[in-house]
Each structure stands twice: as structure tokens, then as C-alpha cells.
Structure 1
């Protein structure tokens, strides 16, 4: 007598939507469209005829971000095909005949919180981007600032805390001193009601937290007051550390973002911009960005006041051809970031790893 079988669940032979999309993108080159000057994103419905497994994907696009979207199930509009330069020029000529009337204006507010104080990896990254220092040079200078600099009659004085750390924790006394300095030197709008508490980001599960963040030992030792006792490179690094730490206890920078759409019937053109409402911690400190990191809110130009129904004058529409590009080569800053992300080495070994790679290259 046979025992009854438990009915098994039959797996669907059709993969999920996300799986199908992912596999399709891996086989074909996905085209990207975007407003000129902004970071483009992959288009989910358009595929380039020139794209193949061997060759890169290319497509012409207009200088402004355009799209022909489906508005409702009853009214479908096909997306313009831009296969070559002639197609792009035809769209430009067609669009220039139409009035550019504002159809929608969307405004929003974005807040950028102050960054945390430096740890070893972020100090190396920022020193590379802002000062052009290698990881080895940064650590050598930081060692000198930590061990002590001759400050006149005071003798050797350690100007920063220990420079090999993976923590962004700061002593309460140092936070209080920074807040007192901000309240005394800046407008009250720059000081938050309560101290900023910075949390460790995702992927930082290996943090040992043996030492606090890299910061000046005394906020009252301003960089300009110590300039005569430091050489040029020491001064620049100390100034970077000092500004970052004080800025970490200031209010966020606030931006107003504006998005304007021009619905021309077949085409929708979009202009995106931003302007600063309150500079916040940018009053003292600005992060540096490499080209491959993409555009930020500060990079977007402001858009003049527009309301729905306004007609604007179009001076020029420039079609540009773009190709799928390979990932950029590592800089010292991006290599340190990748080492930390992959869990390769420790804060004390990043500079040595990079120096070894350079010597063996």
C-alpha cells in the first residue's frame, strides 16, 4: 500500500519581473537619458539598436531631459526613437517650432546634515580630494600633529587626537567646547538645539571603537593662530580636521529644489535646479567630490521664478551623443573607500596597502 504523498509546490517557470528585467539588461546595453549637466539614469523601456555584447550602447539625446510618457491607459504616446544624429536633429527642429509653455512646477526642500568628524579612511579620502595628499603623506602629517608641534613657550603640543581610528565617537567635553565656540562665533541659527549625534553608517559592522574620532585636542587653537608654527602641509591638514569637527556640530544646509516640465504634446522637456536657502555647516566646511561621484545639489543652477502657464524663450537645444562608459579607474580616495567597503585591511594599514600597490605596479 502506497503512502500518500505530500503535494509539492510547483515552481513557476516564468521568472519574476525584477529577474526578467535584470537578465534583459545584462544581455543588452541599456540606454541612458538625462538633462544635460545632470547624472543620467538608465531608461527602463528603451533599448539601443547599436548596443551589443561586444560593443557599447550609444544614443542621441537632446540637451534638456525629455520623455514621452503614458498619461493614462486610454491615451498612449509612443516614445521618440533616437537612433542616429539625423533623428536627433529632426526632433530638435520639431521641438523648436512649438511654444515652450510651463505645464507643471514642483518645488521641494532638501536638507543636507553636517558630516561626522573624520575617521582614518574619511580623512585620507578628503585629504586626497581637497589637498591632493596621498594616504601615506596624510598619515605622516597626522602623526606629526598627534605627537606634538613646538608652540612657542608652551613647548611640544599634540594638536589632534589619535589618527588611526574607525570610530566617529566624540567625547562629551569636546562636543560642549565645539558648541560653545559656534554659539560665540556664529549666528544662533547655526547652532542646533541639541548636540548632533552621528551614527555609524551601514557596512561598518567591523568598527572596534577603540579610539574616538579624529579631532583637534582644543577647538580654541584656531588654524590661523597656529600657522606660524606649522609648515604649509601641516597647516592645511590641521585646518581640514579643525573645520570638519566644528562643522559636525552645526545645523544642516537647506536647499530649495525646483522641477519645471514643458509638455509639448509628443515631448516633455524638464528643467531641474536648486538654490541655497540656508548655508548651515557650509558656512565653515564643504565636502569635495570627484567627477565620477555625480552631481550634487550645489552643482545644479538656480531656475528663475516660473509659474504654470508661463512661456519661455528657448535659445538652443543641443543634441549630444553618449556612450556607455566603463567604470573609472581608482583614485587614492576611491580606493580607500573601496578597501573599507570590502573589509580589506584596517585603518592602520590602508596607506601601507596603497604604497605596496604603487611600488609593485
Structure 2
């Protein structure tokens, strides 16, 4: 029988570690946190020095009982993650399992045989300072959320939303997004003219050069081109600059999230989930870290791998120091546990993330790239300015052989090599263009750039970035989405063969991909909190609190004192807000409708933003006009409202086609065209009010000739309930009342008759009646079910997807819980 019990958080981690320990050790999982503050009630006794009351989570009672049995007559080793949260989990396990105070605590930053054995050789006891730092964060966040959220419920009636919440970090995060949106709203774009010239040089090559500074007006651009009609162009100087480029440090949590977003298009949460799997399978070091440091062993291993793969000249060992003073424990950066393993992971995305981590870590220990940069200045005989052409050639690749860091700049271009040039050389101009360019507003945040901003402000820590962003999106304070751009005219002046010609072209601007936008609800809640709880949403105040947590972790400050100092002023603010006025920004008065003489209001309702013409107290009832999804009422102007009221309304009839009317409208699934009883979806983001008859006819023809046909389509009723045949992300389906049934691939949804539809509904009802695949008498919270999209695991109120290749009938209870914690 095993004499030692090792407890970790996850089954995957347990499985990996058990493979490294001998028969004297058994490794079990707690499946994450086992205790927390209660779901109902605050769970904090303010009068007793903020004493918390912890409860074992209902879904962990069985786990705790099993661990208690396993712990009897065994030496217990607590091996949770090596950070504050992991320390707190170990402490909760000690308390819940009734373990002795000197229970052994082991820590490691990578799951390898060497690291595990070293940890077993050097155990310690639980660090209560780290526990208290985590406890302080949890208690403070509960105090803020528990006392602020009811204030929001009473003071903000935005569409009768009852799931409003506030949080110490989440509310500051929303503020960052809101303030950036207001910067964009207030930005006034101005146009300038960019001058670019092409010159013919020897051997048919073309040299492109530009004026370093844009010209402010069209008149200045025309004058410049006119002056160049008779000008002589010649190389006035050539400067060759040898330079070097150094690699970026290995990944921290924040930089991994940013780079995975840029290069792999992963969300912050997706990156952390994949990194967690790689860590638990022993492939990478711990993925929550502020440090850019690599151990001496890792540096030596990287050097050996570089020499083998690329040659000694590509190797250069480096030590990176973490710049952030608030960085927590002196841990390593994220790196592979074995540099000789060049590919790892169970699926494509795990492999892609591992590849990114491997390349970044290896590149950090490689030689600088040697680059030769050439700058040519071109004199103009008729003007004092000079044109500039630049190019570069890589003389030695160095780390660039493996990795180039990504950038958030949208128009970053790599410069090519210049053709052979000589000082004094005269150039023949092929053409010169003056192109109108508009200044761009600040960029909206992506998940990655928001993480970068939070890190710069010192708000949150590596473990908080992903859940914070997920929370503000889940609460619908912020949305992450793509938005189409708009078109505008730009002027282009071209000097060619002594003649200047003008042309008007169009460019698309303002298109957004995976950007974060505040919602009306987010703006309303933010403005109310800023007005009434300015210190809670103050960036420096929030960052200073992180520094306070650091001091608690170092044993310098009592957590009770820190909470007490905060709560004194906070409680006064809560009481003042409770007695104050409700939020006013949910109703925005724009002006008076000139046609009816009634007031126009922009408001937010349960189904989104809308215009209200008239007041509830008027004799005649107010009228309402829905606004487009995403319209921010705080920035809607009176003129824009009048344009909406006077413009075309939905549904909008575009005319007849082959005897049938074409109607464009917008439904819950987006804009569509209705023609001859059939629906044709418009492209995502397409404005239905701008659709022409020609566009609608082309859409109808394209859809009728393609495989999509004209879904969704209405069918006659079945058993008293309406039937719709549609097509979703998982294929064609039948909607009968409120129930959905998949249409088999063998059936054509466009040609099915009523009898076939009835047959499929009946078959679907039989399947639904027997949807439980497996139950577990020892844990009635866990079931294996067959749902609309296939088998899944239900754990309490959570649904967990079953991976491909896993037979649902053969799943054990332990495997279900393991999948649920992954």
C-alpha cells in the first residue's frame, strides 16, 4: 500500500506526476478549489475583523470525503500551483481535510521528473503570508461586489436588467474600454497629402521614394507637383548604417496572450486553457508568471539545442531582468521543459501554441540579427525638400532564423533592398503621386492590447487577466465583434509625362476585426460608478491595491488592516449612493421633433437601443423606432436622430421582381430579404437600409443557384405548433415550437414534404425521451446525456463537451469529473 498521498488541483496534472513517482506515492486531484465564500450572503463578518466564512462547494463534498479517506495513515504532500492561488488551495485543503499544521507543501514550476523529485527533497510548510494575500483579494472583491451590485440594481433601470454587477477590477476594465470609445467619438479626422515618387534606375529597376512629411492641403500638394514638372532629381547622399536587432525576452503570461492573439488569433481565455493543458502534460513551465528569467539549466539546454540545430554562431546566452517592480515571486518565464522537443500537444491548437512558446524561448538565447540599412536622399532642383528612399539587407539572420515578434501596428511594412545607387546620380522620374490620407483615431482594444494596458497600469495579475475580460463580456458591458468599414472619397493627384491629372477614388476605413466595444449598458454602469465611486474606478488606486496585496504576501502588512482602511471610506460612498439619484444616462434627450413638436429621447430597452418620440405623460402615446444594434445612445446626435426618423423604415419594400414584392427587414438573426415567401440572409454587418433592388435580386439569384437555397422557410403546422426549416452553424434543422431536431445528411431540407418533416419530428421526440446515456449512483450531480448537438456531460448546472473518439457509454465518473475540470 502507498505510504504517501500527493494532492494536486487537476486530474491531468495528477496523471503526469504519478508517472514520475514510485509505488510509495499515490496522486489525487481536488478538481480545483474545494472551499469558497458562500453563494448566498456575503460570508464576511465585518464586526469580527472581516472574518470570512468558508463552505465546501456542494459539488466537492464527495471529493473532500474521498480525500479524507485516502489521507488516513498516509503522509500528505500538498502540491498545488506555485502562486498565491495555489497556496490558498493548499491551505483550504489542510483546513477541510483536518491535516496537521506542519503538513508538507511542495512547489515546482514545471512537471518533469527532475523538478518533482527536487520538490519532494525540499518540502516546506504552507506560506500563510501568500494565503493571506489571496484571501485579502477574495474578501475585498466580495465586499465590493456584494455592496455595489445592489446599488446598481436600484439605481440603473437599463432595460430592467437584474444581472448587473460591479467588481474592483472588472469595472476598471470596462472604464478603459469606455474611455477609448469616447476618445474615438471625439476624434476629428483631418486630411493631408502623402507624396510618393517612382524613379527608373538601371536594369529596369524602380526606386520608390517619399517626402518624409505630409503636405497639409490640396493646394500645397498641387504646388509641389507643379514645381516638380521641370525638376531634376539626383542622389544627394547615401548613408549605409550597419545595425543589429535583438530578440524579445521569453514569454510572460501577458506577452504570451498578446502574441497568441496577434499570430494565432486566439482569445486570452483560449490561450490560457491551451497553456494549462501543455503545463499539466509536462511540456511547458507554469503559465502564470510575471518573470522573463530563465534558469541556468534552461539557458544551457537552449544553447545546446541551438548549436545542434543552427550552429554555434547562432547562439548567445542572455539573462533577462523583469522590469515590472510589482512582479510577484522570482519565477521563470514560460518555456518548454525540454528544448529538444520541437513539437508537442494533443491537438492542432496546442501544437501551434507550443511552437510559439518554443520559438520565442529559443530565439531569446540566439545571436542578434545583423542588418545593413541604406538611406538615400534625393534632391529636387526646384524645391528645398528632399525625398527619402530606404531599404535594408540582412547580413546575418541570427534569431530571425527562428522568430520575429509580432506588432499591433496595422501598417508595419518590411523594407526591401535598394538597387545600386551612386551619389550625384541623376534619376528619371516615372511618376509622382500626391494621395489624400486621413488621420486615424486611437485603435479600439483587442483582448491582447487590453491585457497590455492593464499590465501597464499595474491592474490585476497574470491569473486575473483572462477571467476579468471574460466577465465583462459575459455581463454584456463589452462586446467582442467584427464591424464593417465605411467608404469615403479620396483625391489622388498624379504627375506623369509632364502632366498632372486628378482622380477621385474610394477607400474603406473603420473596419474592425475582433475588437472590444462598450455597450450602452456598459457606458451607463461605468458613468454611474465613475460619478459615485471615483476612487474604486481610479487606475492608480486600483494599482496601489495590487501593491498592498504584494506587501501582505511579503508579510509587511496585516490583511485585516488593509481591508479596514479600504472599507471605512467605501462604506460611506455606498450609503451616499443609496440615497442619491438614479443614473440619468439611460435616457438621453436629443431635442424636439419638428414635425410633431414632441421631444425625442434615445433610450435603452430590453431589446436594445431605440428612439422615443413623445413622453408617457402626453395624451397621445409615444412612438418608438428601433436603432441599429451597437448604436451608442450617449453619442447619438439630434441630427442623426432626425435622419433616422425621416429616413426609410423597416420593413422596406424595394419593388417587384417577376410579379413578387421584394422586402428587406431585420430579424433576431440579422438582416434579410423576403421574396416570394422565402428568406435570404444578408451578409453579416450589411445595413438593410442601404440595400438596393439590384443587390436584393443578385442575392436571391445567388442563393437560389447555390446549395444554401432559401432557408429558413416556413412549413405548415404539425400537431398545432409552427414548423420552420432552417440552417444553423451545425447544419440544417427543424424547429417545431420551441424544440429543434437535426435533419440527417441524407435528406434535402429544400425538398422535404410535410410527411417527412412529421416523421423526423416524431423520431426526434423518441430520441429526446431517452436522452440520458449514463448516470452514476455515487454522484447524482453527474450525468452523460445525448443532446441536440450530440453527447455531453452534465455536472451540476454545467455542460461539458465530450472529445471526439471518446465513447460516452464507457465514461467513468472519474473521467467525467476530469473532463469537467480540464
Q: TM-score by structure 1 length?
A: 0.72
2:9 aligned residue? none
Partner of residue 327, structure 2 = 207
1:161 aligns with 285
- The Cα shift of 1:301 comes to 2.2
- Per-residue CA deviations over 1:90-113 (Å, capped at 9, x if unaligned) read 322321421211011111122111
| Structure ID, larger Rg | 2
Partner of 2:218 in structure 1? Answer: 85
| d(CA) in 2 for partners of 1:215, 1:326 | 37
Count how many residue pairs are aligned between Structure 1 and Structure 2.
277
Structure 2 counterpart of 1:110: 243
After superposing on structure 2, the runs of 4+ consecutive aligned residues of structure 1 that deviate more than 4 Å are none
Choose from 111, 118, 137 the match for 2:270: 137
Residue 147 of structure 1 is aligned with which of 263, 280, 285?
Answer: 280
Alignment correspondent of 1:95 = 228
- Greater displacement, 244-253 / 85-94: 85-94
Q: Secondary structure at the match of 1:249?
A: coil
| Counterpart Cα distance in 2 of 1:221 and 1:168 | 21
- Residues 287-302 of structure 1: pairs in structure 2 closer than 5 A: 287-292=405-410, 295=412, 299-302=414-417
For residue 358 of structure 1, the aligned residue among 454, 464, 473 is: 473
User: Which residue number in structure 2 is paired with residue 325 of structure 1?
Assistant: 440
| Cα deviation, residue 282, structure 1 | 1.1
d(CA) in 1 for partners of 2:303 and 2:246?
16
Say which SS state the counterpart of residue 400 (structure 2) adopts. helix
Native 8 Å contact 2:221 2:434 kept in 1: yes
Partner of residue 351 from structure 2, selected from 210, 220, 235: 235
1:19 — aligned with what? Answer: none
Which residue of structure 2 aligns with residue 252 of structure 1? 368
The offset of 1:189, in angstroms, is: 1.9
1:116-143 deviation line (CA, Å, top 9, x unaligned):
1111000000100010100100000111
Q: Which SS does the other structure have where 1:163 is aligned? A: coil
Q: Hey, what does 2:298 align to over in structure 1?
A: 174
- Does the Cα contact within 8 Å between 2:195 and 2:210 map onto a contact in 1? yes
Judged with a 3 Å threshold, the aligned counterparts in structure 2 of structure 1 residues 168 and 310 are, in CA distance, closer, same or farther, namely same
2:247–2:363 CA contact under 8 A, matched in 1: yes
The C-alpha deviation readout for 1:131-164, integer Å capped at 9, x for no partner, is 010010000011111111xxxxxxxxx1011000
Cα distance in 1 for partners of 2:269, 2:368 equals 32
Which residue of the partner structure matches residue 77 of structure 1?
none
The aligned residue for residue 183 of structure 1 is 307
Task: For 1:167 and 1:238, locate their aligned partners in 2 and report how far apart those are by CA, in whole Å.
Answer: 18
Is 1:280 the counterpart of 2:398 in the alignment?
yes
1:224-262 Cα offsets, whole Å, 9 max, x none, are xx4xx6201111011111111111110011221111111
List gaps (5 residues or longer) in structure 1.
1-52, 69-80, 149-157
Deviation at 1:67, TM superposition (A): 6.5
Alpha-carbon distance in 2 for matches of 1:54, 1:247? 40
* TM-score, length basis structure 2: 0.32
Return the alpha-carbon distance in structure 2 between the equivalents of residues 83 and 210 of structure 1: 52
What does the per-residue CA deviation read over 1:192-230, in whole Å, with 9 as the maximum and x for residues that have no partner? 3xx2122334xx11112342110111111121xx4xx62
Secondary structure at 1:319 match in 2:
strand
Match 2:378 to one of 262, 273, 280 = 262
User: In the TM superposition, what is the alpha-carbon distance from 1:86 to its structure 2 partner?
Assistant: 4.4
**Structure 1 residue 276 displacement after superposition:** 1.4
Tell me: CA distance 1:82–1:242, structure 2 relative to 1, closer, same or farther (3 Å): closer
Matched residue of 1:165: which SS?
coil
Give the Cα separation in 2 of the matches to 1:241 and 1:327: 30
Cα distance between partner residues in 1 of 2:420 and 2:312: 30
